[in-house]
Amino acid sequence: MRLSYPTNLRIVKVPCTGRVAAIHLLRAIEKGADGVFIAGCMEGDCHYQEGNLRAKKRVTYIRGLLESIGVDRERVAMYNLSAGMGPRFAEIAQEMTDKIRQLGPLVKSTNAGKEVVA
């Protein structure tokens, strides 16, 4: 398909989004990412039954935690798409990058616009 998506995105592959713990989202931010999104399977389509639903809960928790410490909750997000939805992935990557660019770098001195996707 030769789709293009922003180059500032760093992909961290996990066997299932259920593997992504709350600390992984925070560590990504702590280590310089200005935003993180989890790209999980469609709800109801998890090979492990509820991995993506667990990830969703953790994202909700971390968004609340970030807000409480003065960080915009929009910096962490959960998306659901299947492995066959390449164009949607590129779209999400662009959407998230635009959103984070708008919010600006979390810490002024670190690399701006870096994102991590799991």
Partner 1 sequence: MIMAKPKKAEEIISRVKDFSRVLVAGCKGCVAICEAGGQKEVEVLASAMRIHFSQIGKRIEIDEVSLSRQCDKEYLQELADSIDSYDAVISLACGAGVQFLTEMYGEKPVFPGVDTCFIGVTEEQGVWSERCQACGNCMLGETGGICPITRCSKRMLNGPCGGSENGKCEISLLVGRDVACGWHLIYERLKKLGELERFRRPSEDKDWTASRDGGPRQIIRKDVRP
Positions in the binding site for partner 1 (CB under 8 A): 21-23, 26-27, 29-30, 65-66, 68-71, 106-108
Sign, Cα dihedral of 83, 88, 90, 94: negative
Nearer to partner 1, 21 or 83 (CB): 21
For partner 1, the closer CB: 3 or 23: 23
Closest contact distance (angstroms) between CB of 65 and partner 1 is 6
Residue whose CB is less far from partner 1, 38 or 92: 38
Least distance to partner 1, CB of residue 80, Å = 23
